[in-house]
Structure 1
Amino acid sequence: MDITSKIAIVTGASSGIGAAFSQALVDKGATVYGLARSTDKLQRLQQNLGKQFHPVPLDITDHEAIDAWIQQTFNETLEPDILINNAGLGRFANVENLPLEDWEAMINTNLSGIFYMCRKVVPLMKDNENTCHIINIASIAGKVGNPQLSGYNASKFGVRGFSEALFKELRYDKIKVSCFYPGSIQTGFFSNANDSESHANMMQPEDVARVLINVLETPDNFLINAITMRPLNPKHPEEL
């Protein structure tokens, strides 16, 4: 795909790898609709990225709001080419201590939100004459279960299964589907993790964004449907 002049949607765009994805896409000439709940963060990001970035304050767990925004924004002359389902959150505890609201927040955001986006964007992509691409951001936690991550693991294993099915469902409609399984990235995500903190030996958001661009720029009949990425040395620098 030649990203220049393409229309991209990025969820969870206001910070972390979502902001890095938005930056990388704008740098390549794409127009980016960045979705997130934080209006202030989106507006600050727009100040940095310019007019090619369109801030969209939206909660992806609200399927009615998604439906309304898609209907208002896109039409036969403005069709999305790229969908990056990046929004996600983690809440960590032993299963008996995990609050119901934390479980529901992870399932609704990490898994249902992807379905809500895809069910409305896929028909538009099917009408698009160009080859389109959906990238779902799972996690290494979508492949390996760990203690105190039962809810997060469940949501990300769900993303894995959804992505695998969707890739097979859409491949003959000129719609690529890729699922990313990143390990630890130096973002604010770990502020919610027990006994964990962000550090410089984690992957950097800009490096993950470069992988995203590389995957998007593959030839139209070439698909990387799954990719796992990790820091080579994940230990905190103070442990070395």
Structure 2
Amino acid sequence: MDLTSKTAVVTGASGGIGAAFSQALINKGATVYGLARSADKLGQRQQELGDQFVPVTLDITDHESIDRWIQQTFDDDLLPDVLINNAGLGRFGDVDSLPLEDWEAMINTNLSGIFYMCRQVVPLMKDNENSCHIINIASIAGKVSNPQMSGYNASKFGVRGFSEALFQELRYDGIKVTCFYPGSIQTDFFSDANNSESHANMMQPGDVAGVLINVLETPDNFLINDITMRPLNPKHPTEQ
């Protein structure tokens, strides 16, 4: 795909790898509709990225709001070419102590939100004459389980299954589906999720965004349907 003048939708665009994805897409000439719940953070991203970044304050767990925004934004003259389902959160703890609201937040954001976005965007992509691409951001936790991560694992394993089914469902409509399984990335995710410290030996958001661009720019009849990435040495620098 030639990303010049393409239209991309990125969820969780206010920070972390979502902001890095938005920057990388804009650098390639795309217009990015950046979705997130924080209007203030989205405004900061627009100041940094310019007019090619269109901020959209939206909660992806609210399917009615998604439906309204899609209907108000897209039509026959403006169709999405790329959808990056990146928004996600983690809440960790033993299964017998994990608060019910934490389980529901992870399932609703990490899994249901992807479905809500796809069910509205896929029909528009089917109407698009160009090749289109959906990228779902899962996690290495969608392949490998760990204690105190049952809810997070369940949501990300769900993204894995959904992505595999979606790829097979849409491949003959000219719509690519790729699932990313990243390991640790140096963002605020870990401090927000369980008060652990991010560090420089984690993958860098810009490097993950570089992989995203490489996957998007493959020839139209060439598909990488899943990709796993990890830091080679994941240890904290003080542990060397």
Aligned to 2:94: 94
Q: Which amino acid aligns with 1:27?
A: N
On the 8 A contact 2:89/2:193 being kept in 1, the answer is: no
Q: Which runs of structure 2 are paired with 1:1-240 in the superposition (5 Å)? A: 1-194=1-194, 196-240=196-240
Q: Scaled by the length of structure 2, what TM-score is found?
A: 0.99
Residue segments in structure 1 that go unaligned for 5+ positions in a row: none
Deviation at 1:193, TM superposition (A): 4.0
Deviation by residue 1:159-202 (Cα, 9 ceiling, x = unmatched):
00000000000000000000000000000000134473100000
For 1:109 and 1:78, the matched residues in 2 are separated by: 27
Percent same amino acid among aligned pairs?
83
- Label 1:192 to 1:4 Cα distance change in 2 as closer, same or farther (>3 A): same
Q: Which runs of 4+ in 1 moved over 4 A?
A: none
For 1:56 and 1:46, the matched residues in 2 are separated by: 11
On the 8 A contact 1:137/1:179 being kept in 2, the answer is: yes
Q: Scaled by the length of structure 1, what TM-score is found?
A: 0.99
- Matched position secondary structure for 2:145: coil
Residue segments in structure 2 that go unaligned for 5+ positions in a row: none
How many residues are treated as equivalent by the alignment? Answer: 240
For 1:153 and 1:9, the matched residues in 2 are separated by: 25
CA RMSD of superposed structures (Å): 0.7
Q: Which amino acid aligns with 1:106?
A: M
Q: Which amino acid aligns with 2:76?
A: E
Deviation by residue 1:73-123 (Cα, 9 ceiling, x = unmatched):
000000000000000000000001100000000000000000000000000
